[in-house]
Amino acid sequence: MAFDETRADVGTLFELDGLTADQVAERVAAGQTNDVPDRATRSVRDIVYANVFTRINAILGVLLVIVLATGSIIDGMFGLLIIANSGIGIIQEVRAKRTLDRLAIVSRARPAVRREGVTLSMEPQEVVLDDIIEVGAGDQIVVDGVVVEAMSLDIDESLLTGEADPVRKSRGDQVLSGSFVASGSGWYQATKVGRDAYAAKLTDEASKFTLVHSELRSGINKILKFITYLMVPAGLLIIYNQLFSSGQSLAPALNGMVAALVPMVPEGLVLMTSIAFAVGVVRLGRRQCLVQELPAIEGLARVDVVCADKTGTLTETGMRLSELRCAEVGDAESSRAALAAMAGSDPRPNASVLAIKEAFPDDPGWGAATAEAPFSSAKKWSGQSYGARGNWVLGAPDVLLDPGSDMARQAEDLGASGLRVLLLGSCDVSVDDPGAPGTITPRALVILEQRVRPEAHDTLEYFSSQNVKVKVISGDNAVSVGAVAESLGLPGGDRPVDARGLPDDRDALAQTLEGSTTFGRVSPDQKREMVGALQSRGHTVAMTGDGVNDVLALKDADIGVSMGSGSPATRAVAQIVLLDNKFSTLPYVVGEGRRVIGNIERVSNLFLTKTVYSVLLAFLIGISGVMSQIMHIDALPYPFLPRHVTMAAWFTIGIPAFILSLAPNHERARSGFVPRVMRLAIPSGVIIGVTTFVSYLLAYAGPGQTDTQKVQAGTSALITLIMIALWVLAVVARPYTWWKLVLIFGSAGAYLTLFALPGTREFFELDPTNVGATTMAIVCGLVGVVLVEIGWWVTGRIHGERRRLFASSADLPGVH
C-alpha cells in the first residue's frame, strides 16, 4: 500500500519524534485509541449467566417445579444440584479467569512508542492513532500502520497470510497487526487502532478462555448425545407408566416420574470436567505457567515428542565472554574496537551481543555505521560497515569460514566442548551489498560460555521415564549442540546431525528424526518441517522456544511452549508460556494434564453408569406399564422417591466424584476415551438396572400392598442399587491407595448410618425391617457385585489392559 500523504504528515511527526502530549489528548478524546481488550476472557457476568442458564439446570428446574407442586418439599432436594452446579462452576471459572488475566498482564507485549522525543514502553491499549512505534527482531506489530523508517526491516506475515517468507519493508509500506519482525528494525506510524486493526478480531478469537477442540470434551459430548437419544423413549415410557398405567394418585405418580427422570441427567459430568480444567489453570498459575488455551493442559499430557531449542531452554539465556582468540597478534586491538562498535550500536542486542557489550563497553569512536545487515536465522550472520574502518561481520564460523581452514577446525573443537563460538571477520564489500559478505578475512574467534540450566538434566530424565522422546533442535553449531545434549545425558547427544545435510523429502526427514535426537544449524523453515514430519508419523509434538526463529514451528506444533523471556511473537503463538523461564515446569504441566484426563475418565465412569442404570430401570418399569395395558395386569409403580435417588447419588457419585476429579493422578494419557469409558459404564449400568429391578419384583407385594410394604419394597431395591453402585466406585478408584480406601469405606459407612438411624430412616422413608425382603436385596446386591467384578477383569483381559488392585511406587513417579 502506498503511503498516504493526505492523512498525516509522517515526515514531520517523525522529525518531532512522535506525538506531543496535547496531540495524544486530542486523539484520546476523539476515541482514536487502541481499545482492544487484553484477552477475550468472559466477564464475570457472562460466567454467571453461562453457568446458571444451562440445559441441565433447565431440566432439573422443571422437574423441581413439578415436585414442589405436589407439596413434597423434601423430595425437591435434588434442586440443590442446580445451586451446586452453578455455584461451583462460577467460583472455579472466576478463579481461573483471574489467574489467567493476572498472568497475561505479565506476559503481554509492551510496544515502544516515541512521544516528544522519548521512547516509552507502554500498554498496547495506550497506543493512539498516528503514534510512532519502534520495532526490532521478535517484536509484534500491535496495530496496523505505515513504515516511516526501515533498516533492513523484514516482516513475517505468515500468521496472517500463511506465506512463510519474510517480506522486506521500506518507507511507505503497510504493516499489519498480528505480524512480527523477523529481522532488522524500524519505526511505523499507527494508521488503524483498536477494533479497526486487521488482527483485532483474530486475536480476540485466538485467546479465549475456552474448552473447545478438546478430545476429552468431544468424547463427553459424543457420549451425552447418545444418552439423550436413550433418555427420550425411556422418559416417555416412565411418564406413561406413572400417569396412566400405575393406578396411583397424581402426587405419587408425579414424584415417581421425577425420581425416574432426575438420575438420567448426568448433571455433574460437564461440571466436573470444567472444574478439573479450571483447577489445573490455577495450579499451574501458581508455578508461573500461563495456559493461553485450556485444552493445552490436556494436549501436553498426550505429547510423545518434545522438540526443545537449546538456547534459552536447555541453557540459560545469559552468556559471558570467555576468550577472544585472534587470528593474528596484530588483530587484537582492531578486533576489540570492531566488537565494541558493533555491540554498542546494535539497537536490539541478542544474548551474544550483550555478552560482547559487557566485555567491551568503551566506545572506540568509530561513529555511526554507514551500512548495516541485521542478524537473521536464515543467513546466520550480521554485519556493519564503517567507511574507511572497514566492513565487519559477526556470525557462525561454519557458515562464514572454509571448513578446511585452521580457524574453522579451532571453532569446531571449541564447540565440541559446549562453548558457543562466533567468528569476527572483515569483508571486501559493504554489508548491505547483494553479494555480501563476499570474501571474508578471519580476524578473531569470539568464545562465549553458556550455562546449562541446573534443572535440565532432571527434566530430560523425567520425560525419558514417561516414554516421551526429546529432540534438541537448534540453530547453533551441531557439535556444540551435541556437547550440551551429551552433558545432560540425552541419548544420541554424542551423534549430532547437521541440519544442512537433511533431506527435503518429508518421509526421509521423518525417518532421520526417528533415529536421531540432536540437530544443529536448523533453519526456521526446517524447524517447521521437522514438526510436520514427526506429526506425519502419528506423533503428538510439543515445541519449546523463545526466539523469533521458533515462531513458525511453535505455531504448527500440537502444543507450543514459549519462555516468558522470549520474543513477543513467540509468546503470542504459544499455547503455554513459562513465565519463570524454567524448562523444569513442563513436567508439572504434563502432570496436570494427566490428572485432568485420568480423573475425568474415572468421574465419567460413575456418572455414565448412573445414567445407564436409570435409563434401563425406567425402560423396565415403563415396559411393565405397557404390558399391563396389553395383558390387563397391574403395572409396577416406580420404586423410588426423588429423595431416594438424591441420597443414592451422594456417596456413590457426588462426593467421591468431586474428590476423584481433583486428586493426584499420574496415569499416562491414552487415546480411546469414549470406548474405554463405555466398556465399564454400560455393563455396570445394565447389571445395576437389572438386579435392582429383580430385587424390586421380589419385594413387591402387589397392587394391594400397604404403605409399609410399598416403602419396604422401595428400600429393598435401593439397598441393591447402592451396594452395586458402591462396588462400581471401588472398581473405578483402582489401583488403591490409602486415601481411596478411606473414601470407599467412608461412603459405605455413611449409607449404613443413614439406614441405621431412626431419624434419617424416617426422613428418607426407609424401612429395612422386613428381614426377608432385605436379605433378598443383599443377595441381589452381592450377585451384582460379583458380576461387576468379573466384568472388570474380563474386559481388562480382552483389551490387554493391566489390572491391579493396589498401587505400587511405580504408579507414583516423582516430578523432578
Residues acting as catalytic residues: 309
Instruction: Outline where DSSP puts E strands in 112-245.
Output: 112-115, 118-121, 132-136, 144-156, 167-169, 174-175, 180-192
Angle formed at CA 783 by CA 782 and CA 784, multiple of 5 degrees: 90
Sheet with strand 381-385: strands edge to edge: 315-326, 440-452, 420-427, 391-395, 381-385, 371-373
Q: Report helix, strand or coil for 788.
A: helix
H helix count then E strand count, the chain: 29, 21
Instruction: List Cβ neighbours of 589 (8 Å cut-off, separation of 6 or more).
Output: 284, 289, 291, 297, 300, 561, 576
Give CA–CA dist 557/575, Å, rounded: 10
Q: Give whole-number Cα distances, 407 to 166, 353, 412, 495, 496, in Å.
A: 33, 21, 9, 23, 21
Give CA–CA dist 804/816, Å, rounded: 26
Give CA–CA dist 319/422, Å, rounded: 13
C-alpha closest to that of 232 among 622, 606, 604, 609:
622
Look up residue 152 and give its amino acid: S
C-alpha closest to that of 719 among 757, 748, 682:
748
What kind and span of H or E run contains 447? strand 440-452
Q: DSSP alpha helices (H): ranges in 537-640?
A: 551-556, 568-573, 586-631
Q: DSSP letters of 684-729? A: HHHHHHHHHHHHHHHH---TT--HHHHHHHHHHHHHHHHHHHHHHH
What kind and span of H or E run contains 469? strand 469-473
Question: Helix-strand-coil percent breakdown of the chain, rounded to 5?
Answer: 55, 15, 30
